[in-house]
Amino acid sequence: METITLQQLQEMFAGLRNETDWNLDGEMLWGYYFVAPAPEVLESLAETLSERNFDISEIFKSDDEPIFILQAERLEKHTPESLFALNAELEALAAKFEGVDYDGMDVNPADEECDCEGDCENCDCEEEEEHQCGCGSEHCHSENEPIENPEIVAAIQKIAEDASEEAQQDLTLELQRGLYLVPVFAESASAAQAEEGSMQVLVCMDENEKEFLPLFTDEAALKGWTKEKVSAMVLTAPEAWEFILSQPECAGAVVNPGDVALPLNREMVALLKKMIDEIEAGSGE
């Protein structure tokens, strides 16, 4: 399959927002497809995908071509940038299995997989009209849902216990897919000036008084770090890396300082940005 470009994904998201009433800022049911000439290799791939928390829907034979198709699903939040990064990861994963190709993705509202069919007999929600997912599961979200990145938190905790290559790859992927809260406020003597407007970004300092940009995975982590009255701007991973590298005095980032912190020096941030740049360059060829 020809690589799906970031521009194509941005156009897809824009089209869905215009043509549907789906809440693309919440969790959606994303489907991912892989093809191979025989089912056995797809079964091996399915095991790997299951270990990465994908649900395997089915492996079936195409009606139109002499190929077999594996369909994997996962409830996820995505931006065009995070989906672009995941597509690149899935392409690389497929390449590890001889004869397997990644064949793209689709998306549907999370409630299309509900089993209650509207009767809500097993629903935990108190009022049927207020939830999006008919089964009343933990995947119910409102349009104003706060930023949360449990996958990043889990990956950081895992890497502290398991420094394997697979754990490092999982952490890198989740970092690239993240939406981060960055504390901002009007005036401060110890803040780095943001590029736009008069907003200033609250930074943290290491023992050598070097400035690092704090990136928070959720509001609780932010509130646990500072008692300052701050607001927060939301940055995608590419925007965060770009901002850090645009500030000469910034030595890097710290994800969730004050909690299970993950420091990223400037060289690491540059590498993360380079990975995204190379994927975008490759997709444009």
The string of DSSP codes covering 84-143 is HHHHHHHHHHHHTSTT-EEEEEEEEEGGGG-SSTT--TT---S-GGG-SSTT--TT---T
Q: How confident is the model at residue 126 (pLDDT cuts 50, 70, 90)?
A: very low
Question: How high is the pLDDT of residue 138?
Answer: 30
Q: In terms of domains, do 158 and 262 share one?
A: yes
Q: Are residues 82 and 158 in the same domain?
A: no
- pLDDT, position 88: 87
Q: Are 29 and 106 found together in one domain?
A: yes
- Higher-confidence residue of 131 and 203: namely 203
Is 44 part of a structural domain of the chain? yes
Instruction: State the Cα–Cα distance between residues 121 and 116, nearest whole angstrom.
Output: 7
The structure's pTM equals 0.52
Q: Cα(280)–Cα(22) distance, rounded to whole angstroms?
A: 27
Q: Is there a single domain that holds both residue 164 and residue 225?
A: yes
Tokens of 244: 């850090």
pLDDT in tens, 226-281: 877 778 888 889 999 999 999 999 999 999 998 788 999 999 999 999 988 877 66
Structure confidence by residue, pLDDT tens digits, 196-226: 444 578 888 888 889 999 999 998 898 888 8
CB-side exposure of 101: number of CA atoms within 13 Å? 10
- Shared domain for 157 and 218, answered yes or no, is yes
- Indicate whether 169 and 278 sit together in one domain: yes
pLDDT in tens, 91-124: 889 999 999 999 999 999 986 544 444 443 343 4
| Domain assignment present for 138 | no
In a shared domain, residues 263 and 156: yes
What confidence tens digit (pLDDT) does each residue in 42-80 have?
999 999 999 888 999 889 998 888 899 999 999 999 998
Residue 152 has pLDDT above 60, yes or no: yes
Is the model's pLDDT at 31 over the cut of 80?
yes
b (16+ CB within 10 A) / e for 161-197:
eeeeeeeeebbbbbbbbbbbbbbbbeeeeebbebeee
Are 82 and 207 contained in the same domain?
Answer: no
pLDDT of residue 227: 78
At residue 220, the 3 state secondary structure works out as: helix
Q: Which structural domain, as residue segments, surrounds residue 221?
A: 150-283
Residue 6 banded pLDDT, cuts 50, 70, 90: confident
- Asked if 105 contacts 34 with a C-beta cutoff of 8 angstroms, the reply is no
Question: First vs last Cα of the chain: how many Å apart?
Answer: 14
Report yes or no: 133 and 114 within 8 Å, Cβ to Cβ.
Answer: yes
**What CATH number is attached to the domain comprising 90?**
3.30.70.970
User: Domain check: are 172 and 226 in the same one?
Assistant: yes
Better-predicted residue by pLDDT, 283 or 143: 283
Nearest 5°: CA angle at 191, between 190 and 192? 135
pLDDT at position 144: 45
82 and 203, same domain (yes or no): no
